[in-house]
């Protein structure tokens, strides 16, 4: 496998592949030879590549790519990799819009390669634990998910400069970067919301800094909020008529607390290691090796991205 992008997340991904024996990162790609070489050496990757991405993709030395570039580039890079017959694991959000992802799914299917979004929390065993506890809550009435983490790169924006993660041209912004960690589990647990209202806080000359959605489902209401310009340690919550489940972190559930109507309190320390990129990496390796149909995973991504599209549309109202 080759990696595309040389930021911290690629470093973390490579470290995580130590837990996934089927994945062997053999090439680190960067736009510049100097960065590719330095990054490969620092991360124990035996090979490096630079220059036109198509040259790397034409090589028989790799069978897959991990794409961790700015969001706006995912579609173009994944499309080129798929056309070259490479399996693709692409960072979240797979693409800025559902239509772009649908296009990639069709291309991957036609070419017979695996396309998977690295949406780390929905593959995390902590999320499976959340799902397992849901029936104990009774009829679900309220859901509240949140991810608010002030970005160090916001200081660059405040200084009047542009940076990818806040750049609309790079499909940056809080919804696509952090909101997706709330929307993916929401849609996975409860489906696409039949209706929603949403608002965002646009930053001058930049993308959205924060936002929130109120989504209506038959019989219950869900809210989700995200921010890259403020921070919060408030946990996420699912409330049913028989109890409430508190989730310490929606991007990596590690501590769950169940309070039941009958007074029962259950504290679940899951003891799952962080970071949590290994779980979707394992899923990717499994899909490639087994030839299993990746459609259920891709449908999950499509549904999430459709909801993200609807939120963006509502914010523009």
Ligand X SMILES: NC(=O)c1ccc[n+]([C@@H]2O[C@H](COP(=O)([O-])OP(=O)(O)OC[C@H]3O[C@@H](n4cnc5c(N)ncnc54)[C@H](OP(=O)(O)O)[C@@H]3O)[C@@H](O)[C@H]2O)c1
Instruction: CB nearer to ligand X: give 35 or 111.
Output: 35
Contact 133, 126 (CB under 8 A): no
67 or 238: whose CB is closer to ligand X?
67
CA dist 24 → 27, 61, 161, 196, 292 (Å):
9, 12, 37, 43, 20
Smallest gap from residue 28 Cβ to ligand X (A): 9
Among 293, 296, 92, CA closest to 181: 92
In this complex, which beta carbon is closest to ligand X, that of residue 123 or of residue 217? Answer: 123
Burial code (b: 16+ CB inside 10 Å, e: under 16) for 287-315 equals bbeeeeebeebbebbbbbbbbbebbbebb
CB 210 → ligand X: shortest distance, Å?
16
Which residues ranging from 167 to 196 are in contact with ligand X (CB under 6 A)? 177
By CB under 6 A, the residues from 93 to 132 that bind ligand X are 118, 120
Cis peptide leading into residue 93 (ω within 30°): yes
Question: Which residues in the 11-50 window bind ligand X by CB under 6 A?
Answer: 30-31, 35
Closer to ligand X by CB, 66 or 217: give it. 66
Vertex 105, ends 211 and 80: CA angle to 5°? 95
Tokens of 266: 């259950």
**Residues 164, 230, 255, 259: which binds ligand X (CB under 6 A)?**
164
Cβ–Cβ < 8 Å for 303, 192: yes
- Cβ proximity to ligand X: between 225 and 276 the closer is 276
Question: Quick check: 9 binds ligand X (CB under 6 A)?
Answer: yes
Q: Using CB under 6 A, which of the segments 3-11, 130-138, 188-196, 238-246 binds ligand X?
A: 3-11
Tokens at residue 98, please?
A: 């559902």
Question: CB 240 → ligand X: shortest distance, Å?
Answer: 29
Smaller CB distance to ligand X: residue 90 or 245? 90
Identify which of residues 149 and 239 has a Cβ nearer to ligand X in the complex: 149
**Of residues 170, 177, 168, 169, the one with CA closest to residue 202:** 168
> Helix 33-42 vs helix 8-16: angle between axes, to the nearest 10 degrees?
40
Closest distance to ligand X from the beta carbon of 30 (Å) = 3
Question: Using the rule CB under 6 A, which residue among 86, 92, 228, 254 binds ligand X?
Answer: 92
- Residues of this chain that interact with ligand X (CB under 6 A) are 5-7, 9, 30-31, 35, 68-71, 73, 91-92, 118, 120, 164-165, 177
């Amino acid at each position: 496998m080759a990696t595309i992008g040389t930021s911290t997340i690629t470093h973390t991904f490579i470290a995580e592949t130590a837990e996934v024996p089927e994945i062997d990162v053999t090439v680190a790609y960067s736009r510049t030879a100097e960065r590719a070489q330095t990054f490969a050496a620092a991360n124990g990757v035996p090979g490096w590549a630079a220059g036109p991405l198509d040259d790397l993709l034409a090589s028989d030395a790799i069978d897959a790519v991990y794409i961790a570039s700015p969001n706006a580039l995912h579609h173009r890079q994944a499309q080129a990799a798929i056309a070259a017959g490479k399996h693709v694991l692409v960072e979240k959000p797979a693409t800025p819009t559902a239509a772009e992802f649908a296009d990639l799914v069709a291309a991957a299917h036609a070419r017979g390669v695996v396309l998977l979004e690295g949406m780390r929390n929905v593959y995390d065993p902590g999320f499976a634990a959340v799902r397992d506890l849901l029936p104990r809550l009774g009829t679900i009435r309220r859901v509240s998910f949140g991810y608010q983490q002030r970005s160090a790169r916001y200081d660059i924006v405040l200084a009047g400069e542009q940076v990818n993660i806040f750049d609309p041209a790079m499909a940056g912004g809080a919804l696509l970067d952090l909101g997706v960690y709330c929307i993916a589990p929401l849609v996975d647990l409860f489906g696409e919301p039949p209706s929603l209202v949403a608002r965002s806080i646009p930053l001058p000359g930049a993308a959205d800094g924060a936002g929130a959605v109120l989504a209506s489902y038959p019989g219950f209401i869900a809210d989700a909020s995200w921010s890259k310009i403020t921070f919060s340690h408030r946990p996420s919550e699912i409330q049913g008529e028989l109890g409430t489940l508190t989730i310490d972190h929606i991007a990596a559930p590690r501590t769950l607390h169940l309070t039941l109507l009958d007074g029962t309190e259950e504290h679940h320390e899951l003891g799952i290691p962080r970071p949590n990129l290994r779980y979707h990496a394992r899923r990717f390796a499994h899909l490639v090796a087994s030839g299993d149909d990746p459609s259920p995973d891709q449908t999950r991504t499509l549904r999430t991205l459709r909801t993200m599209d609807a939120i963006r549309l509502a914010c523009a109202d």
